[in-house]
C-alpha cells in the first residue's frame, strides 16, 4: 500500500512488498529529497524523478534492513534551503520517516524505571541491549498488529494514527515522551526498537494519565475609575469561574459578588477579596477543557441608570502547559481588566492559579 506523510513514521518490512510513497497534490516543480541512514555519503540527496513517477504521484523507495529513510517533499516554485543545512525553516510540504525491519523478533528492550506519566504525557527511559532506533506511541484505540514473529509468536503492535508519539535515533540509551495527552484517559502504549540488522522488539502496556486539578485564588480588586466625577461611586462587582469546551456553552462553576447600590468606592481603591475555588481533580475532554475567570460590574447613578464594565471577552482563559517539564504550573499575578462599556467606570481584578495532576 502506498504511504503518505500522515503515516509518519512508518515501519516497513524489507523486500515484501516494495515500499511505495505517494503524494496527492500536483506540483509544477516537485522536488523529493531522500536520506538513507546506511548509505554513504550521508545526508539528503535530491531524487531525479521520472515522468512516470510524476504522472503516477508515486515512487518506489529502496530500504535496507535496520535502515531509517527520511523523505521530504518541496514545491520547487518556493525558495527553500538545502535540507542538509536547514530542515525546519521553512518546513517541507511533507516529511516521512520509514524504519526498515525484517520479519523476526529479538529481545532487546528494558525499562529500568518503568513508564512514567503525568496529566498530559507518558514517558519512559528505554535501554536497548544493542544499537536501535526506538519509537514510542500512545493511543486510546487498540493498536494494530503489524507483524507476528514466525518463531516466537511475539506481536509487533503499531498505531497507524497515534494520539502522540516520539522516536529517537540509533543508540542504546533512549528517552521518549509522548505529549500532549488528555488528563484522566486510559492509553495503550507501544515501544518498538529496530536493530541495525532489522530485527525488532516490541513492548506493550496500558497507562492512565492523571486527573487535572486547578486551584484559583481571587486576591484583590483595584478601582481604576469609580465612575463618578464628583465624589465616590456606588458599585457592585462580580467575579466568576467558568468551565467548558471550545464549541460548547460555558458553565459557571463559582460566582462571587461584593457591593450594592450603596457600596462606596473611590478611584485608586484596593479591595481585598480572598475568594478561592478548586476545579477538579477530574478527567478532561473537549467538553470541559477550558477554565476561565470572568468579571463584570456596575456603578449606580440613581435615576441616570448604571455605568457598566466588563472584561468583554467572556472570561480570561487559563493557559495550561503540557509535558513533563511544564505541566504543573503556577501563575502568581494575573490581572483581569474590566473596561468601560458605556461610560468611565473601570476596575481590575488580581488573581493567581495553580494546575496540578493527581492519580484517579
Grid coordinates in use for 96?
A: 516521512
pLDDT at 305: 72
pLDDT at 303: 66
Cα separation values, 66 from 94, 197, 314, Å: 23, 5, 54
pLDDT at 75: 85
pLDDT at 80: 79
Residues (pLDDT < 50) of the chain are 1
pLDDT at 12: 87
pLDDT at 22: 86
Grid coordinates in use for 360?
A: 484517579
pLDDT at 7: 65
pLDDT at 26: 83
Grid coordinates in use for 34?
A: 531522500
Grid coordinates in use for 239?
A: 467575579
Q: Which residue has the cell 508519539?
A: 165
The whole model's pTM is what?
A: 0.89
Residue 327 has what DSSP assignment? S
Q: How far apart are CA 216 and CA 40, in angstroms?
A: 58
pLDDT at 193: 96
All structural domains of the chain, each given as residue ranges with its CATH number in brackets, are 10-101 (2.60.40), 109-208 (2.60.40.2060), 211-358 (2.60.40)
Residue 210 has what DSSP assignment? P
Amino acid at each position: 500500500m502506498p504511504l503518505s506523510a500522515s503515516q509518519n513514521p512508518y515501519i516497513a518490512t524489507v523486500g515484501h512488498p516494495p515500499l511505495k510513497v505517494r503524494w496527492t497534490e500536483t506540483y509544477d516543480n516537485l522536488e523529493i529529497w531522500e536520506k538513507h541512514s546506511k548509505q554513504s555519503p550521508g545526508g539528503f540527496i535530491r531524487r531525479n524523478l521520472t515522468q512516470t513517477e510524476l504522472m503516477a504521484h508515486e515512487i518506489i523507495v529502496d530500504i535496507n534492513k535496520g535502515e531509517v529513510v527520511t523523505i521530504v517533499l518541496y514545491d520547487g516554485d518556493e525558495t527553500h534551503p538545502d535540507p542538509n543545512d536547514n530542515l525546519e525553516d521553512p518546513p517541507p510540504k511533507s516529511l516521512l520517516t520509514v524504519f526498515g525491519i525484517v520479519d523476526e523478533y529479538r529481545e532487546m528492550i528494558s525499562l529500568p524505571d518503568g513508564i512514567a506519566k503525568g496529566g498530559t504525557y507518558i514517558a519512559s527511559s528505554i535501554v536497548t541491549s544493542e544499537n536501535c532506533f526506538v519509537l514510542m506511541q500512545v493511543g486510546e484505540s487498540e493498536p494494530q498488529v503489524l507483524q507476528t514473529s514466525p518463531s516466537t509468536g511475539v506481536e509487533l503492535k503499531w498505531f497507524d494514527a497515534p494520539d502522540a508519539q516520539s522516536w529517537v535515533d540509533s543508540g542504546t540509551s533512549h528517552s521518549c515522551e509522548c505529549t500532549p495527552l488528555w488528563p484522566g484517559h486510559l492509553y495503550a502504549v507501544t515501544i518498538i526498537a529496530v536493530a541495525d540488522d532489522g530485527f525488532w522488539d516490541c513492548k506493550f502496556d496500558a497507562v492512565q494519565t492523571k486527573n487535572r486539578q486547578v486551584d484559583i485564588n481571587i486576591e484583590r480588586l483595584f478601582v481604576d475609575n469609580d465612575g463618578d466625577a464628583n465624589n465616590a461611586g456606588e458599585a457592585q462587582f462580580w467575579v466568576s469561574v467558568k468551565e467548558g469546551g471550545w464549541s460548547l456553552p460555558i458553565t459557571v462553576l463559582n460566582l462571587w459578588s461584593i457591593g450594592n447600590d450603596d457600596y462606596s468606592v473611590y478611584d485608586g481603591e484596593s479591595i481585598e477579596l480572598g475568594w478561592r475555588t478548586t476545579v477538579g481533580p477530574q478527567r478532561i475532554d473537549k467538553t470541559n477543557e477550558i477554565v476561565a475567570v470572568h468579571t463584570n460590574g456596575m456603578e449606580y447613578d440613581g435615576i441616570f441608570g448604571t455605568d457598566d464594565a466588563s472584561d468583554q471577552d467572556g472570561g480570561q482563559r487559563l493557559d495550561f502547559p503540557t509535558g513533563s517539564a511544564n505541566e504543573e504550573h503556577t501563575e502568581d499575578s494575573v490581572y483581569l481588566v474590566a473596561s468601560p462599556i458605556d461610560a468611565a467606570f473601570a476596575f481590575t481584578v488580581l488573581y493567581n492559579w495553580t494546575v496540578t495532576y493527581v492519580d484517579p
